[in-house]
Amino acid sequence: MSSMQSNSSTDLTFVRPATFFISDFSNIPHAKYYYVFLSLVYVVTVLGNSFIMCIMYLARRLHTAKYIAVFHLALSDLCGSSALIPKIIDMFLFDHQDISYEACLTNMFFVYHFMNLQSLTLLALAYDRLVAICFPLRYHAIVTKPAMFLIVGVMWIVSVIFFSLLVGLLNRISFCRSNVLNSYFCDYAPICALACNDISINILMGKISYGLLICTPLILIIISYFCIALALLKIAHGADRIKAIKTCTSHLILVTIFYLPVLCNVLASVTTPLHPNFQIINNSLTQTIPPMLNPIIYTLKTEEVMQSIKELYKRSKVNTTKENKMKCRRIKLK
What is the residue-level pLDDT of the chain in tens, covering all 334 positions? 444 544 444 345 667 888 998 887 777 777 888 889 999 999 999 999 999 999 999 988 899 999 999 999 999 999 999 999 999 888 888 878 899 999 999 999 999 999 999 999 999 999 999 999 999 899 999 999 999 999 999 999 999 999 999 999 999 888 887 888 888 899 998 899 888 888 899 999 988 888 878 889 999 999 999 999 999 888 767 777 888 888 888 899 999 999 988 888 777 777 777 677 777 888 888 899 999 999 988 877 888 888 888 888 888 777 776 666 676 766 666 5
Closest residue by Cα to residue 61 from 318, 315, 322, 334? 315
Give CA–CA dist 53/68, Å, rounded: 10
State the pTM of this model.
Answer: 0.88
How many beta carbons lie within 10 A of that of residue 231, not counting itself? 17
Please give the domain boundaries of the chain with CATH numbers for all domains.
19-315 (1.20.1070.10)
Residue 88 near residue 184 (C-beta atoms within 8 A):
yes
At residue 13, the pLDDT reads 63
Burial of 331 (0-12, 13-18, 19+ CB in 10 A): exposed
Contacts with 36 (C-beta within 8 Å, 6 or more apart), sequence order = none
Please report the sign of the dihedral spanned by the C-alpha atoms of residue 158, residue 160, residue 163, residue 164: negative
SS3 state of residue 2: coil
Of residues 288, 300, 298, the one with CA closest to residue 40: 288
- Spatial neighbors of 235 by CB under 8 A, at least 6 apart, are 241, 244
